[in-house]
Structure 1
Amino acid sequence: MTSQAKKRVLSGITATGSLHIGNYIGAISQWVDNQAEYENFLFVADLHALTIPEAIVGKNLRARVEEIFALYLACGIDPERSTLFVQSDVVEHAELGWLMTCVTPVSWLERMTQFKTKGKVADVDSGVGAGLLCYPSLQAADILLYDPDLVPVGEDQKQHVEITRDIAKRFNAMFGETFKVPDVVIRQSGGRIMGLDDPTAKMSKSTAERSPGHAIGLLDPLDKSRKAIMRAVTDSNSGVDFSNELAPGVTNLLTIFECFTATTREQSREQFDGAGYGTLKSAVADVVTDKLAEIQSRFHDIADDRDTLNKQLARGAERARAIASTKLAQAYRATGLRQ
């Protein structure tokens, strides 16, 4: 398959909190696996981190951004095969974000789960920033700048791709055919990894900062990671029983194991049916810590070589900008802002 024939993929992760195994399973590992099949544009979404400014007050956001960028590389993203960049390094994101905001009805933004849950709509007058409301229009710009065919996201982000599709269609209807309307791709297994302490809640970076044992960070010490898995919530039974409905915590552990070992639920049944929870947790801890050890070793090599890292940051931004600037110019001409 030639590069011209490949479908283009666009995806990114917001630079809030530390990356954890849920991010790895649900997003990064997919990016790594599909590098030969797709033309990937992958970014660190630092502008989106500003939508909750209190979450980054007193923190060096750029340092976190570069840590995430280095982790992408450590996890196996090849900058020769994928365009890897930081959102704020490509100014076209912010510029097209304004155009997208102007064509997006407020009612569309107000119905978004992100705003309803984090914005606490009843308290809008007490200081929630407009950025949280307009988050989806900037995310639409992130996507539409690159004319992607596919946008792989976690199950909970499907709504954001749907509104991007709606915004693209509205812009095209108002100003003429400008943007490709992308399709969403959701991982069938592992698209929603749950918290180890509460398997009814999605594993999240923000919760991990407040609740030790909730998530396994990609840079967590290996002994800490193992302890968190061994303490993971299961149920009151003594072991895994596939003849009955599995508890959420047990299902979550099995899903993590299957994603790290590229195995199926049927293979899990053969290996763990009737096994005690200690056996299951030990197996999960082994495969997770083995992978973390590999990632962390590569990460430290990458992060310690500042010259090479800075060159990769600059090269990724340049490659992304070459595509983004062309699309932004097209959007400007469509709206009449340019001849």
Structure 2
Amino acid sequence: MSEKPRTVSGMRPTGPLHLGHYFGVLRNWIDLQEREQAFFFVADWHALTSDYADPSAIRRNIDEMVKDWVAAGLDPEKCVIFRQSDVKEHAELSLLLSMITPVSWLERNPTYKEQQQQISNKDLGNAGFLCYPVLMAADILMYRPHGVPVGEDQLPHMELTREIARRFNYLYGETFPEPQALLTPAAKCPGLDGRKMSKSYGNGISLSEPMASIRDKVRGMFTDKARLRKSDPGDPDICNLFPYHVLLSSPEEQMEIRRGCTSATLGCVDCKKIFLKNLAAFLEPLQERRAKLDDKAVTDILAAGGERARAFAATTMNAVREKMGL
């Protein structure tokens, strides 16, 4: 039997995971673990690129994020779950790739520019933040995957990873495949304020958040800005809430919501009540599974996954050193 194709992806442990993580990435991961050799890592070194001044929360966030992953459906028997810093080969490959990566490639990164403008409460002028796409490329290329499950905002990083792979192959000989982006079909999950849902912006609904807290947030959520009163017809296609119905409501409910919104017979308050009902049905089983996981279970998962990841990384680095004459 031929070997399964490989995939790899990771997340930074910078806070609670939200609905955008689930529908934008995690749901895709859960599907991929069934049919591919899947490596999923906690990107704690990446977290330091922005949280270097106070890394005290990273350790706690690591454990909490792995609990979210497993509660959402990742199975450590079906995929490799590990911590980035447990595999030192990632740092070595990142250093070697930085030698061949032009600074201009990093400076044109749109995510780098966006976060410099949007995040004003942290100093992001450090070299680690500028160079994190190189570390990301090392994380990916280490496992020589055919594809990487990512959200749309990560597409520029994927292109840069392919460029770095091409440059390495040109200079030293064919070593790395050029991985493709594996986008989840329903990746749109806007933030409560209309921007992209992001931990950095504090505009999301976390997977572990109590429904009482969520209800308060949803009451103040942006909907259709042009609909000031219930008697005003709305447009679901520009409403900030309707994408959530696409993700969580049945097709029949979506039709009723669209009909009621455009005819002004369904108000935003009632529309939000439907969303909250369906959200509770989605989150409650996930949160029940999460409550059964303790810190020891997380430690065991990361230890076993780290051992498997290091074994694979060692083979890649042996090949890289040989190609580079080291």
**TM-score, length basis structure 2:** 0.89
Q: What residue is the counterpart of 2:263 in the other structure?
A: none
CA contact (8 A) 1:44 1:86 kept: yes
* Aligned counterparts of 2:242 and 2:223: Cα–Cα separation in 1: 11
- Equivalent residue for 2:205, pick from 216, 241, 246: 216
Change (3 A) 1:76 1:172: same
1:239 deviation in Å? 7.7
Q: What residue is the counterpart of 1:310 in the other structure?
A: 299
CA contact (8 A) 1:169 1:181 kept: yes
1:300 deviation in Å? 2.1
1:181 deviation in Å? 0.7
1:144 deviation in Å? 0.4
Q: Secondary structure at the match of 1:17?
A: coil
Question: Which residue identity lines up with residue 238 of structure 2 in the other structure?
Answer: A
* Aligned counterparts of 1:269 and 1:247: Cα–Cα separation in 2: 16
**TM-score, length basis structure 1:** 0.86
Verify: 1:12 aligned to 2:34, yes or no: no
Q: What residue is the counterpart of 2:216 in the other structure?
A: 227
- Equivalent residue for 2:101, pick from 92, 99, 104: 104
Q: Secondary structure at the match of 1:246?
A: helix
- Equivalent residue for 1:268, pick from 238, 254, 263: 254
Q: What residue is the counterpart of 1:281 in the other structure?
A: 272
Larger mean Cα displacement after TM superposition, 32-41 or 162-171: 32-41
Q: What residue is the counterpart of 2:165 in the other structure?
A: 168
Verify: 1:69 aligned to 2:60, yes or no: no
Change (3 A) 1:318 1:247: same
1:240 deviation in Å? 9.7
Change (3 A) 1:130 1:58: closer
CA contact (8 A) 2:27 2:184 kept: no
Change (3 A) 1:77 1:239: farther
Question: Which residue identity lines up with residue 190 of structure 2 in the other structure?
Answer: M
Q: Secondary structure at the match of 1:184?
A: strand
Change (3 A) 1:171 1:270: same
* Aligned counterparts of 1:317 and 1:135: Cα–Cα separation in 2: 21
Q: Secondary structure at the match of 2:114?
A: helix
* Aligned counterparts of 1:296 and 1:174: Cα–Cα separation in 2: 49
Q: Secondary structure at the match of 2:283?
A: helix
1:129 deviation in Å? 0.8
Percent identical among aligned pairs is: 38
Change (3 A) 1:332 1:19: same
CA contact (8 A) 1:240 1:272 kept: no
Segments of 4+ moved more than 3 angstroms: 239-242
1:48 deviation in Å? 0.4
- Equivalent residue for 2:48, pick from 11, 29, 50: 50
* Aligned counterparts of 2:150 and 2:157: Cα–Cα separation in 1: 9
Q: What residue is the counterpart of 2:246 in the other structure?
A: 258
Change (3 A) 1:52 1:240: farther
Render the CA deviation track for 1:58-105: whole Å, top value 9, x for unaligned. 623111111111211111101111111111111111111111111111
Question: Which residue identity lines up with residue 61 of structure 1 in the other structure?
Answer: I
CA contact (8 A) 1:230 1:282 kept: no
- Equivalent residue for 2:174, pick from 151, 161, 177: 177
Change (3 A) 1:109 1:327: same
Change (3 A) 1:127 1:30: closer
Change (3 A) 1:267 1:234: same
Render the CA deviation track for 1:296-315: whole Å, top value 9, x for unaligned. 22222112xx3332211100
* Aligned counterparts of 2:242 and 2:218: Cα–Cα separation in 1: 12
Q: Secondary structure at the match of 2:54?
A: coil
1:117 deviation in Å? 2.5
Larger mean Cα displacement after TM superposition, 266-275 or 315-324: 266-275
Q: What residue is the counterpart of 1:203 in the other structure?
A: 197
- Equivalent residue for 2:30, pick from 29, 32, 35: 32
Render the CA deviation track for 1:105-151: whole Å, top value 9, x for unaligned. 1100010023223346xx9xx87110011111000001001111111
* Aligned counterparts of 1:215 and 1:127: Cα–Cα separation in 2: 22
* Aligned counterparts of 1:138 and 1:239: Cα–Cα separation in 2: 53
Question: Which residue identity lines up with residue 172 of structure 2 in the other structure?
Answer: F
* Aligned counterparts of 2:151 and 2:98: Cα–Cα separation in 1: 24
Unpaired stretches in structure 1, ≥5 consecutive residues? 209-213
* Aligned counterparts of 2:239 and 2:93: Cα–Cα separation in 1: 41
* Aligned counterparts of 1:177 and 1:225: Cα–Cα separation in 2: 50
Unpaired stretches in structure 2, ≥5 consecutive residues? 261-265
1:245 deviation in Å? 6.7
* Aligned counterparts of 1:95 and 1:83: Cα–Cα separation in 2: 21
Q: What residue is the counterpart of 1:211 in the other structure?
A: none
- Equivalent residue for 1:329, pick from 288, 307, 318: 318
1:241 deviation in Å? 6.0
1:49 deviation in Å? 0.6
Larger mean Cα displacement after TM superposition, 179-188 or 162-171: 179-188
Change (3 A) 1:87 1:116: same
1:267 deviation in Å? 6.6
